[in-house]
Amino acid sequence: MTALGARIKALRGERGLQQRQLAEKAGLTPSMVSQIESGRLTPSLHTLGRVAAALGVPIATLFDGQPAGSIVVSRAKDYPVVSFDGSSERWAVLGAGLFQGKIRAVVSTLGPRSRGVTTEKVVIRPGQMKLFYVLAGRVGLHYNGDRHVLEAGDSALLDGGTPHGWENLGSKPAQALWVILG
């Protein structure tokens, strides 16, 4: 699914419309709406205008994560949690941190005296920067063969494409905020 298709599907869902209802409002076939949402069809500007009008939004909104002047509040109880086989690491995916369907920010919790997942499990392109901020505990940030010891309140900015990981050096759970920039 493309970012555009996902955005149209999300806007349709927010309005409680089925694909055929959106198609009727936009003067399109249900098949065409399905193909646009799945990314199998790239719509013309004219078609995008019809879809936007049927959804009651400007065309630009179809490409934006959120319309200008809006806010998305995410409650802690609603954060999706990601876990990894063979690791005590757990991610709370920050809902307001979602951008074009990709994870942009997580709060990671790591059990006492354990290591987080390796970068092979989390693909990021070279040159894409990550911010690592320690929320609680004393941790070792492993980066390109070196270990940097950080404590609550410390942070590091690193190239996410270079091998990295972290470990909890303490006897209590540690927490860190990871944010993918750019």
Name 113's Cβ contacts closer than 8 Å, sequence gap at least 6.
167, 168, 169, 170, 171
Pairing of strands 174-180, 164-168: unpaired
> pLDDT per residue over 158-181, tens digit each?
888 888 889 999 999 999 998 887
The pTM of this model reads 0.58
The token pair at 155 is: 């942070």
Pick the CATH number of 76-180 from 2.60.120.10, 3.90.1150.180, 3.30.450.20, 3.20.20.105: 2.60.120.10
pLDDT band at 149 (very low <50, low <70, confident <90, very high): very high
Q: Of 62, 67, 64, 60, which Cα lies nearest the Cα of 8?
A: 62
What three-state secondary structure class fits 20?
A: helix
Name 66's Cβ contacts closer than 8 Å, sequence gap at least 6.
72
Q: Which CATH superfamily is domain 3-62 in?
A: lambda repressor-like DNA-binding domains (1.10.260.40)
Q: Is the pLDDT of residue 68 over 70?
A: no
Q: Give the integer Cα–Cα distance in Å for 59 and 44.
A: 12
Q: Averaged over 83-87, what is the pLDDT? A: 77
Q: Is the pLDDT of residue 182 over 80?
A: no
> pLDDT per residue over 98-146, tens digit each?
544 455 788 899 999 999 887 665 656 677 788 889 999 999 999 888 9
| Portions of the chain given CATH number 2.60.120.10 | 76-180
> pLDDT per residue over 25-62, tens digit each?
999 999 999 999 988 888 877 888 899 899 988 877 77
CA distance to 3, 47, 166, 176, 180, per residue, from 143 (Å): 32, 48, 9, 15, 16
